């Protein structure tokens, strides 16, 4: 399975996927392209270090948003991506891309959807919301991307305990380490090995 990973920041989820492929935890998968909207994203350095093709395609480089969308779609075509992984990607995915790659775009969100998700809930804001509500369990969700925000069919979730002395930063770190970096590679492995199907908007995992 050829995978394109879209990133915006540190790329720790990208790194988890790179490591899982390199150590054989994820099979039948190859990252063929890493695309960032941010030329300074450390995620691009991570790709560089592992000899993975990478490029920056930023909305700022285009007069019209439509031209950015076309450039992004063209890059995915050229890469012959079968699966698109959003790993901390902060740009809204164009509708025509969602339609073209129906149930072939996955996202990792740092909460147990439908809690603390949707517009405005990204990065630390997700964890601030969890701490503000006083939940005892939070976690991460890997889901297919549809036209909404964090609304697509859920593939995998993993819970993480919230500790009394947690700050948004300590909680974010634990959710990444204990949940995101576990379920994203696992979801890719399941998809790459034909074990995931979507029926009536619900994900079925075989074996
Ligand atoms: C983090 O907030 C993570 O929870 C979310 O995207 C942000 C950056 O992730 N998935 P990464 O380190 O760039 O993968």
Of 5, 6, 11, 13, the one to substitute when testing ligand 1's pocket (max ligand atoms within 8 A of C-beta) is 13
What contacts 36, CB < 8 A, 6 or more positions away?
A: 6, 7, 8, 43, 44, 54, 55, 56, 57
Per-residue pLDDT reduced to its tens digit, 8-40: 999 999 999 999 999 999 999 999 999 999 999
Both tokens of 192, joined, read 């790459």
d(C-alpha 166, C-alpha 137), whole Å: 12
Which pLDDT tens digits describe the chain residue by residue (207 residues)?
A: 999 999 999 999 999 999 999 999 999 999 999 999 999 999 999 999 999 999 999 999 999 999 999 999 999 999 999 999 999 999 999 999 999 999 999 999 999 999 999 999 999 999 999 999 999 999 999 999 999 999 999 999 999 999 999 999 999 999 999 999 999 999 999 999 999 999 999 999 998
Bridge-based pairing of strands 196-199 and 154-161 is unpaired
d(C-alpha 146, C-alpha 174), whole Å: 27
Residue from 50, 54, 69, 109 carrying the catalytic annotation: 109
Burial environment of residue 171 by CB neighbours within 10 A (0 to 12, 13 to 18, 19 or more)? buried
Q: If you measure from the C-alpha of residue 102 to the centroid of ligand 1, how many angstroms do you get, rounded to a whole number?
A: 23
- Ligand 1 close to Cβ of residue 139 (< 6 A): no
Atom of ligand 1 nearest to the CA of 172: 4
Q: Is 109 a catalytic residue?
A: yes
Q: If you measure from the C-alpha of residue 56 to the centroid of ligand 1, how many angstroms do you get, rounded to a whole number?
A: 18
Neighbours of 131 (CB within 10 A): 15
- Ligand 1 close to Cβ of residue 59 (< 6 A): no
Q: If you measure from the C-alpha of residue 78 to the centroid of ligand 1, how many angstroms do you get, rounded to a whole number?
A: 26
Q: If you measure from the C-alpha of residue 110 to the centroid of ligand 1, how many angstroms do you get, rounded to a whole number?
A: 8
- Ligand 1 close to Cβ of residue 176 (< 6 A): yes
pTM above 0.95, yes or no: yes
Predicted pLDDT of residue 4? 99
Residue nearest to atom 11 of ligand 1 (CA): 11
- Ligand 1 close to Cβ of residue 87 (< 6 A): yes
- Ligand 1 close to Cβ of residue 110 (< 6 A): yes
Q: What is the predicted ipTM?
A: 0.94
DSSP 4-69: EEEESS--HHHHHHHHHHHTTSS-S-EEEEEEES-TT-HHHHHHHHTT--EEE--GGG-SSHHHHH
């Amino acid at each position: 399975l050829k995978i394109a990973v879209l990133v915006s920041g540190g790329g720790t989820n990208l790194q988890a996927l790179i490591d899982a492929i390199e150590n054989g935890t994820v099979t039948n998968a190859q990252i063929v392209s890493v695309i960032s909207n941010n030329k300074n994203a450390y995620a691009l350095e991570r790709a560089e270090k592992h000899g993975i093709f990478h490029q920056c395609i930023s909305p700022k480089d285009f007069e019209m948003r439509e031209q950015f969308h076309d450039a992004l779609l063209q890059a995915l075509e050229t890469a012959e991506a079968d699966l698109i992984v959003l790993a901390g990607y902060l740009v809204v995915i164009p509708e025509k891309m969602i339609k073209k790659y129906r149930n072939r775009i996955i996202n990792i969100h740092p909460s147990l959807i439908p809690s603390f998700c949707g517009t405005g809930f990204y990065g630390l804001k997700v964890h601030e919301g969890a701490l503000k509500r006083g939940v005892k369990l939070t976690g991460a969700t890997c889901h297919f991307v549809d036209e909404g925000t964090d609304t697509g069919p859920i593939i995998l979730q993993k819970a993480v305990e919230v500790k009394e002395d947690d700050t948004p930063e300590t909680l974010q770190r634990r959710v990444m380490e204990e949940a995101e970096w576990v379920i994203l590679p696992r979801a890719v492995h399941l998809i790459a090995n034909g074990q995931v199907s979507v029926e009536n908007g619900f994900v079925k995992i075989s074996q």
